[in-house]
Amino acid sequence: MAANLSFLQFSPQILQTKDSRRKLSSAVKLKFSGSCVVSCSSSNNGRGGPKDDPVKDVERLLEEKRRAELSARIASGEFTVGKSSGGPEGYVKIPEARGDIRAISSEPFFIPLYELYLTYGGVFRLTFGPKGILAEILDFVMGKGLIPADGEIWRVRRRAIVPALHQKFVAAMFSLFGEATDRLCKKLDAAASDGEDVEMESLFSRLTLDVIGKAVFNYDFDSLNVDTGIVGAVYTVLREAEDRSVAPIPFWEIPIWKDISPKLKKVNAALKLINETLDNLIAVCKVEFIHVLYISCFTCFLYLHAIVMKMVDEEELQFHEEYMNEQDPSILHFLLASGDDVSSKQLRDDLMTMLIAGHETSAAVLTWTFYLLAKEPSVMAKLQNEVDSVLGDRFPTVEDMKKLKYTTRVINESLRLYPQPPVLIRRSLGDDVLGKYPIKRGEDIFISVWNLHRSPIHWEEADKFNPERWPLDGPNPNETNQNFSYLPFGGGPRKCIGDMFASYETVVAVAMLVRRFDFQMALGAPPVKMTTGATIHTTEGLKMTVTPRRRQPIIPTLDIPTVKVDSSVNVPKVETISGQKDEVSPALS
Ligand code: HEM
């Protein structure tokens, strides 16, 4: 089991080591398992709220005890083979942390790594731990999709897909975000009037599945309302991907087992259903596209001609937007319309990858945001104030995003405390140097975003949920303006392509939900503990009591605002959440 793995805790200086960056190849998302008391509720550090809350006190004491025990074990040398000094060719050898994987299997992997980070500093070698690279493990579901892909396939596919998430596409998604969240509000209304508590984590998972299904291939799972075979199949496959990533041996490859295991049979059937559905959607979209081309070929010729002329005259961004179809603004439609020359299998892999990448991540962000909000009533009150004054009773629009500043800061802060995924992985493509340490070709490097985001070196009161740490008049925090001490969507060439989409999706959902309801942890609900898959899950769900809000009546003002309409502008200008001008949102630059 012991694998020779390097564990890297990013510091801004290290990340900027160009040589290392160039040679690090992307792997896929890391998944581990385990559980522990949520550590952000562990200390007075960073907690506002009443100091005499007995529940918080107990949680804090338990967490302090757990940390003290772990620190004592680290101090006793249980994990240590002695700090190394002097490496080959005059380099300093990386400090080594040794131990037995079983010693840390009872809690999420990134928790002990945090203690080791405090002991050893930013970079150390881990001589025990899970296998790092999951490309083979996830092959059954993502194939050569954008996340596991590398080299030339990745380069070509990234270039084809990134333009699909252009500005007009994201603007077109607002009605989708609003309608899907409204369906969730109706469910919560029903639960509230029946006096029932609700398990929010699974509801968020359904909400984001509905959103991403429509956005990626214009398919309405409607998983908030119905449990069709396809929804069940998607969950079966997702759970299997998570199980495989933490399995001690690849049981799915054992010859006889893979033929007789009922679980694997179920997974294969689910996969078959999903693949057939996706193939169907691709085929239908292709036929519709050809049909439109055929019946209007003359118009089309003029149209294409006009587009080509526009290309000459206008920005590439506007060209990309021409491919968008108002009735079907999905990424699939865009890829076909843009003439993306790709096999159906590759297209399916990419769509499936985006479905997975955009589903669990957003659901996890919403889950932990509501967990944090329930624990900090003062933040919730401020948030509700902002939403009431900006939105009133209407659906959020793209123009509102600039005004919902505090709501955005709440999401920024939630992503700092609960980064999704908490650990990223790279594999070194060649011998290299990281900071002052030599790295060998083929070594796996874990980048603990969890450690980075909670590092006492980088953050004041690092464990505190404090959206105020991000000034409202400052830029939207991202990896570049935070000097790489904040990586909510990764960084560099493999940065998330859905950052703006996901940021707006979560802001809309939070705004619409807190406007309508108050959220409290349900009485007698199990303590919220963490476990890791690709993202951070709760072990037993997030059980909440949801109460419709009683709001002050809105008193009409006598000032009648004048609205200036500029008829030449079709699409409101959108500021990117990441504020970056690189290829992630080329349409915005
Ligand atoms: C709040 C939600 C989201 C979070 C926190 C998130 C986070 C991330 C992170 C940290 C990475 C970098 C992984 C690495 O460096 O190894 C990433 C990559 C990626 N994300 Fe997201 N993501 C989110 C939503 C989305 C959405 C909605 C989509 C699709 C529409 C998406 C598609 C992708 C893809 C395709 C990649 C791989 C990019 C590449 O390797 O070139 N993500 N995401």
**How far is the centre of ligand 1, averaged over its atoms, from the C-alpha of 467 (Å)?**
23
Tell me, what amino acid is at 49? G
User: What is the C-alpha to C-alpha distance for residues 254 and 247, in angstroms, rounded to an integer?
Assistant: 13
Residue 455 pLDDT greater than 90, yes or no: yes
Among 14-28, 191-205, 492-506, which is the least confidently predicted range?
A: 14-28
Half-sphere exposure of 280 (CA within 13 A, CB side): 8
357 within ligand 1 shell (Cβ under 6 A): yes
489 within ligand 1 shell (Cβ under 6 A): yes
**Contact between 170 and 578 (Cβ < 8 Å):** no
494 within ligand 1 shell (Cβ under 6 A): yes
The protein residue whose alpha carbon is closest to atom 5 in ligand 1 is: 420
Task: Please calculate the CA angle 216-218-223 and round it to the nearest 5 degrees.
Answer: 90
User: What is the C-alpha to C-alpha distance for residues 294 and 300, in angstroms, rounded to an integer?
Assistant: 9
Among 4-8, 376-380, 397-401, 454-458, which is the least confidently predicted range?
A: 4-8
The protein residue whose alpha carbon is closest to atom 26 in ligand 1 is: 358
User: What is the C-alpha to C-alpha distance for residues 576 and 274, in angstroms, rounded to an integer?
Assistant: 33
ipTM over 0.95: yes
Half-sphere exposure of 368 (CA within 13 A, CB side): 31
Residue 44 pLDDT greater than 70, yes or no: no
- Ligand 1 atom showing the smallest separation from residue 27 Cα: 16
pLDDT digit string (tens) for 195-205?
A: 999 999 999 99
Q: Ligand 1, from 496, 506, 580: best to mutate by most atoms within 8 Å of Cβ? A: 496
* Average pLDDT score over the chain: 78
- Listing DSSP states for 461-516 in one string gives TTTS--GGGS-TTSPPP-TTTTTTS--BTB-GGG--S-HHHHHHHHHHHHHHHHHH
What pLDDT is attached to residue 97? 80
The protein residue whose alpha carbon is closest to atom 15 in ligand 1 is: 490
502 within ligand 1 shell (Cβ under 6 A): yes
490 within ligand 1 shell (Cβ under 6 A): yes
Q: What 8-state DSSP symbol labels residue 49?
A: S
- Ligand 1 atom showing the smallest separation from residue 487 Cα: 10
Could you identify the residue written with the tokens 């309608």? 179
Choice between 154 and 138, residue whose per-residue pLDDT is larger: 154
Place 31 in a pLDDT band, splitting at 50, 70 and 90. Answer: very low
39 within ligand 1 shell (Cβ under 6 A): no
Span 339-364, average pLDDT: 90
**How far is the centre of ligand 1, averaged over its atoms, from the C-alpha of 422 (Å)?**
12
User: Residue 25's beta-bridge partner residues?
Assistant: 427
510 within ligand 1 shell (Cβ under 6 A): no
The protein residue whose alpha carbon is closest to atom 12 in ligand 1 is: 490
What pLDDT is attached to residue 562? 47
